[in-house]
Amino acid sequence: LRDEAGNFRASRSTLFDISARREAEQALRASEARFRLLLESAGDGILGVDMDGNCTFVNGAALGMLGYAENELIGRPLNICGEDGTPANEACERSQCPIDVAVRSGVIQRGMIEPLVRKDGATFTAEVSSYPVREGDGISGAVLVIRDVTESQAMAKKLTWQATHDALTGLVNRQEFERRLGQLLHGAHEGGAEHALCYLDLDWFKVVNDTCGHAAGDELLRRLSRLLQGRMRQRDTLGRLGGDEFGVLLEHCPVEQAVRIALELRDTVREYQFLWKGQTFSVGASIGVVPLTAAMESADAALNAADAACYLAKERGRNRVELFNAEDIGLTRHHDEMRWMSRLNRALDEGHFRLYCQSVVPLVDAEGARPHYEILLRLEDPEAGLIEAATFVPVAERCNLMSAIDRWVLRQVITTIAAGRETLGEATLFSVNLSAMSLLDELLPGYLKELLASHGVPGGMICLEIPESAVMANLGTAREQIAQFKQLGCRVALDQFARGALAFSNLKSLPVDFVKLDGALIRSLTDDSVNRTVAEAIHLVAGAMSISTVAECTETDALIKLLKTLGIDFAQGYVLDRPRPIETLGGSWGQRGAQKD
């Protein structure tokens, strides 16, 4: 305060306590520091955006992902949405940007997968989440959290592709093909659209595989896949269904056009020349065509129909196209075989096969002869009873089931022998029939060796009967397989002998123990003098090679008397012994099969 002259007389002071404000400022600075620390320590990119789309804050992780400096983003529009190759200054407009739409919605949006554009125009795949920032009753912007998922998305795409495509050819696999087939059928049921399905099976592909190996077969499949893919319309699907089988889905395709396309595909395969290490091969294609209309019940029914038509194409000469016709007699036969195949597979899985045995009786020098039985296979059916092998073996051979059935029989016989060794004795011989398929099975000798060893059964108790026709068709392989069986101590018999035309010179090169004269030949002996001479000649030649002869289908006493006159060593038939369950074996040789005088 000053007087009238302006001299200082006194002063008045007002004091304000600002400690609370200073503490609040310090706390705010500390909070901002913690926020900045959290922001910068986060591995994900974090950005703030106002309602005008301008960036309000950004952490180092986001700057690293986007390739910007902080001053290039703060206060500026955040234009980071775009497709691959989009320059950063041409990113999508706000109205089209999914991130900006999420910010303006005021709702939390998590896990949006979007392509983002870096400053240099390169793109990366990001998982973006938007969290709205609320001020009072309004929304002032949002916090964006960005995670680079380029690698994980690429891996997911790769895994998805692998799950739906065939690794060898790159075509869709069976599972994906069936899914697409189901979609087409749904469209046909709902809207009446007409599509078509083709089932393509390569002809003579096995020749390439067997001649040049699986590498050549795989390369042929790859090349044919590319060739066939080039013939597809843009909306059609070519898939590999397994092995050398392919499927084609023809969308919006009338059946007449589908047949024309199938013929073009057949010609494409037929005209292709496959060159492998100086060798040239040609293959064909058998194709079944079935219309996909509202009348087709399901994807399984469509595939079965197309497969049946393809089967007919093979049956009728191969390298041809067959249109499915439910009334075709050939298709009816095929369906019967498919039902049989199902029954046989079920019999293997559930144990419906039964083993019977029938004595092989000596006709000369019977005293002290070795007990000998042929094992006969039966199928137990709840309605039809016991079904003989002749009914189902041809189907099993065509369906490639005989190898599994033969192994089942061997396993059961050897298990039975091991369980009854004390009763049977090691002198008993059991003959087991092998199919042509088993003769070609290179792993069978090893499998048999393991069975014998694990059950403690001598190989000398097993005789393997091989059809003469199978030996004729695979003479070199037959020699090798028979030699391996003999090394195990097993006996070997040529079955159905004289049905084919195996030369005696070939017989000499095969180390067999028995030849079983075919039943048709044996039944004709009493009325056909020429066949009697043939049977006698076979016996004389076999005897010179120390090979015993066995007459099958011996049904009358008169025939037994004639066989003895011809010198045949053994015989089997209903007049000597009727087949019975293998479990009933017991007692002496005389009880098992009485010799007829």
| Spans of all domains in the chain | 33-153, 170-326, 351-592
Mean pLDDT of 177-204: 92
Of residues 276 and 37, more confidently modeled: 276
Residue type, 193: A
Angstrom distance (rounded) from CA 139 to CA 132: 7
Of residues 231 and 506, more confidently modeled: 231
336-395 per-position pLDDT tens digit: 777 788 888 888 888 899 999 999 999 987 555 788 999 999 999 877 788 999 888 888
Angstrom distance (rounded) from CA 410 to CA 413: 5
Q: Are 535 and 515 in contact (CB under 8 A)?
A: no
Could you please report the per-residue DSSP string of 423-490?
Answer: HH-TT-EEEEE--HHHHT-TTHHHHHHHHHHHHT--GGGEEEEEEHHHHHHTHHHHHHHHHHHHHTT-
445-494 per-position pLDDT tens digit: 999 999 999 999 999 999 999 998 888 888 888 999 999 999 999 999 99
Q: Which residues sit opposite 379 in a β-bridge? A: 353, 387
- The CATH code belonging to domain 33-153 is 3.30.450.20
Tokens of 311: 């089967």
402-453 per-position pLDDT tens digit: 999 999 999 999 999 998 877 777 788 999 999 989 998 999 999 999 999 9
64-84 per-position pLDDT tens digit: 999 999 999 999 888 888 765
Mean pLDDT of 277-306: 91
Mean pLDDT of 564-577: 92
Q: Are 478 and 470 in contact (CB under 8 A)?
A: yes
Q: Is 90 helix (H, G, I), strand (E, B) or coil?
A: helix
The fourth-level CATH superfamily of domain 351-592 is EAL domain (3.20.20.450)
508 alpha carbon, distance to own chain's centre: 43
Angstrom distance (rounded) from CA 375 to CA 415: 13
In the predicted structure, residue 237 carries a pLDDT above the cut 90? yes
User: By mean pLDDT, which of 7-16, 41-50, 391-400, 523-532 is the weakest?
Assistant: 7-16
In the predicted structure, residue 546 carries a pLDDT above the cut 80? yes
In this prediction, residue 590 has a pLDDT band, given cuts at 50, 70 and 90, of very low
Angstrom distance (rounded) from CA 517 to CA 495: 7
Secondary structure letter of residue 312 according to DSSP:
H
Mean pLDDT of the chain: 85
pLDDT of residue 481: 94
Give the closest residue to 361 by CA, choosing from 205, 130, 177, 589. Answer: 589
Helical H segments across 488-568, by residue range: 504-508, 519-523, 529-544, 557-566
Angstrom distance (rounded) from CA 299 to CA 576: 54
Q: Which residues sit opposite 328 in a β-bridge? A: none
- Strands 372-381 and 353-359 turn out to be antiparallel
In the predicted structure, residue 164 carries a pLDDT above the cut 80? yes
Q: Is 319 helix (H, G, I), strand (E, B) or coil?
A: coil
Angstrom distance (rounded) from CA 597 to CA 444: 40
Mean pLDDT of 277-290: 92
Mean pLDDT of 545-558: 92
Angstrom distance (rounded) from CA 55 to CA 69: 12
User: By mean pLDDT, which of 21-25, 172-176, 448-452, 481-485 is the weakest?
Assistant: 21-25
Give the closest residue to 175 by CA, choosing from 167, 166, 184, 188. Answer: 166
Q: Are 252 and 194 in contact (CB under 8 A)?
A: yes
Degrees, nearest 5: CA angle 104-105-108: 115
User: By mean pLDDT, which of 60-74, 77-91, 171-185 is the weakest?
Assistant: 77-91
- The CATH code belonging to domain 170-326 is 3.30.70.270
316-337 per-position pLDDT tens digit: 888 999 998 876 655 566 667 7
User: By mean pLDDT, which of 29-38, 173-182, 339-348, 383-392 is the weakest?
Assistant: 29-38
Element (H, E) at 362: strand 361-362
Residue type, 181: L
